[in-house]
Amino acid sequence: MTLLQALASTLTIVCIVSAQQNHVIPISGHLSQSGSSTNGSSDGLTVLTQQGPVVGTSPIVNVRQFLAPFNASSFGDSCPQQFNDGDLEFLRLSWGGLSDEQIFVSESEDCLNVNIWAPSINRAQSTAVLVWIYGGALAFGTSNTPQYNGLNIVRDNDDITLVSFNYRTNIFGLPNAPQLNGTGQAQNFAFLDVDAAIQWVYQNIEYFGGDPERITIFGQSAGAELADAYTLLMSFTGVIEQSGSALGNTEIAAAKLTINDIAWNAVASAVGCGNTTDSVQFSCMQNVSTIDLSAAVSNTSQSFNVVVDGVTTFADTAARATSGRFLKVPVLAGTVANEGDIFIAIAQLLAVGAIIQPGFDILSSIYTMNTSCPTAETTAFRAAAGSTVFRYEYQAIFPNMSPFPQLRAYHTSEIPLVFGTYNVSRESLATTQTGIPVPSTNTEIALSKAMQRAWVAFAQDPQNGLPSIGWPVYNTSASSPTIATLGNYLNATGWSFHRVGGD
């Protein structure tokens, strides 16, 4: 069966009780929802489900790890990814740099995997749950990325289980198929994958030691946009949005009701299905192999975007935000100080082979505003609607995370601090250029622990967890210093606070 043939299964409507409200809601999905409450082994490394036993490992003392069903000792396949030159350069430079082996992981249509890191059974169970949604511009991304490993968070913090999962991107997650337009069916399969994974976690996480009534979803960039958009649809405990919101994704907020069929037809023509958008073409596309379809997407360099379908996204997203028509769950949202640095650096390097001032700073500032302003809007709307909101800006700069001295706190640079994975990349560019190792600093390690403590406190109690450690609720009043600045000169190993629009 091809991956596009599997799209039909995502349209099946099933009923699941939502996590926070005692009513039945329609959910579209295709992951298993059943499980057994009986552990299959005394050490908790075998968990029984109706699909069969899931066998995990204990990579370190006090942490259980389940990476892919059913012999869960290694990551499952990733969903097909689409990279352009800039994407690859980004991955090879960010966080000290990924190797090609870490970038080009095994891919297949059998990619909708869930990974779980849980405390060992000699530690407290029924923990809060953090569910991670990765970014990648909805074109690439995988849970099998070293910086997204949940091991350290669970090792270093009690009362927490961490879950990650894969979702489809590019044509596989956002096909932009004209044949689906106006049918009343969902067209953004990436959204359905996210929903299916979260609902699977709600149905099954108690068998792994998690509390289904304390689920917080958190994501970065496109993952944060998906998390934000999810609050327009479903129920859960809380949400953490890192450098992204639904208002920041123009395809979600701009209310595009018509499909741009150029990308779909370009790929269809490349695989021999023609450019006539009829049922024959659609049937042909459904029977193209995953490998051939993925190659055609890459060779034609087409982009596939979110479609407003009235099921997973809506024409009135902006109006819903301004009028408070979203889940009133607590939100922790923020950005990094210089989001655009990494992208402008890559663009200049690919174009002219060097980082050029003053253009670099100017262009980076423009890009950064395109991320920070929608986040400011989103948090203001949520606060005005009565949601509990916490806001931050990440400002820390560490040599082992920065491939060039010009880079400051750039897009994604906070992720290794959240996960405690600041030392898992290949040698940083600075090391390879100078031959002198650039290790993690004591300040970096301390800030990572502080950020983990904050993220975990929020997950444990989204309403009161952060205030209990001295982080106040966000207040839009200019006189109230409630925006946390993480890793700045006032407190390099923690946070200080500044006012809206000021210090």
Q: Is 99 considered catalytic here?
A: no
Which of 28, 120, 164, 221 is labelled catalytic?
A: 221
By DSSP bridging, strand 483-488 and strand 389-394 are parallel
User: pLDDT of 405-425, one tens digit each?
Assistant: 889 999 999 999 999 998 875
Assess if residue 269 is contained within a domain.
no
pLDDT of residue 251: 56
Tokens of 132: 């991670």
Range of the domain at 315: 5-260+305-498
Residue 188 included in any domain: yes
**How deeply is 456 buried, as exposed, middle or buried, from its count of CB atoms within 10 A (0-12, 13-18, 19+)?**
buried
Report DSSP letters for 359-405, one per residue: HHHHHHHHHHHHHHHHHHHHHHHHHHTT--EEEEEE----GGG-SST
Percent above pLDDT 90 for the chain: 60
The pLDDT of residue 253 is 59
Give strand ranges (E) for 56-209: 57-60, 63-66, 114-119, 127-133, 160-165
- pLDDT of 24 reads 24
The pLDDT-based confidence of 123 (bands split at 50, 70, 90) is very high
pLDDT at 16: 22
Is pLDDT above 50 for 65? yes
Other beta carbons less than 10 A from residue 282's beta carbon: 18
The pLDDT of residue 62 is 94
Q: Check pLDDT > 60 for residue 34.
A: no
Q: Please tell me the predicted confidence (pLDDT) of residue 262.
A: 92
Amino acid 438 reads: V
- CA nearest 411: which of 220, 147, 205? 220
Q: Are 175 and 188 a contacting pair, CB within 8 Å?
A: no
**Contact of 329 with 238, CB cutoff 8 Å:** yes
pLDDT of residue 459: 97
pLDDT at 236: 56
pLDDT at 11 over 60: no
Q: Which residue has the higher pLDDT, 13 or 311?
A: 311
Does residue 149 fall inside a structural domain? Answer: yes
Q: What is the pLDDT of residue 247?
A: 66
Q: What is the pLDDT of residues 207-223, one digit of tens each?
A: 999 999 999 999 999 99
Q: What is the mean pLDDT of the chain?
A: 84
The position carrying tokens 């800030």 is 447
Q: Is the dihedral of CA 338, 148, 49, 76 positive or negative?
A: positive
- The lowest-confidence range among 42-51, 434-443, 452-461 is 434-443
pLDDT digits (tens, 9 = 90+) for 318-358: 777 778 788 888 999 999 999 999 999 999 999 999 999 88
pLDDT of res. 106: 95
Q: Computed from CA positions of residues 26, 32, 38, 41, in that sequence, does the dihedral angle turn out positive or negative?
A: negative
Give the per-residue pLDDT at 35: 34
76: pLDDT strictly greater than 50: yes
Residues facing 129 on adjacent strands: 161, 215
Has residue 158 been placed in a domain? yes
Proportion of the chain above pLDDT 70, given as a percent: 84
The pLDDT of 21-31, averaged and rounded, is 25
Number of folded domains in the chain?
Answer: 1
Higher pLDDT, 373 or 394: 394
Q: Tell me if 319 is assigned to some domain.
A: yes
Averaged pLDDT, 142-151 = 96
Question: Using the 8-state DSSP alphabet, how is residue 78 labeled?
Answer: B
Residue 181: what pLDDT? 81
At 330, which CATH number? 3.40.50.1820
* Confidence (pLDDT) at 70: 73
Mean pLDDT check: name the lowest of 22-26, 128-132, 288-292, 485-489: 22-26
Q: Residue 503: inside a domain, yes or no?
A: no
Burial (CB count <10 Å: 0-12, 13-18, 19+), residue 299: exposed
Is residue 274 in a domain? no
Indicate if the pLDDT at residue 118 is higher than 80.
Answer: yes
Question: Looking at residues 173-202, what average pLDDT do you find?
Answer: 89
Confidence class for position 50, pLDDT limits 50, 70, 90: low
**CA-based diameter of the chain, in Å?**
63
When pLDDT is cut at 50, 70 and 90, the band that residue 192 belongs to is: very high
Residues with Cβ within 8 Å of 439's Cβ and at least 6 positions away in sequence, in order, are 400, 423
Q: Quick check: is 384 in a domain?
A: yes
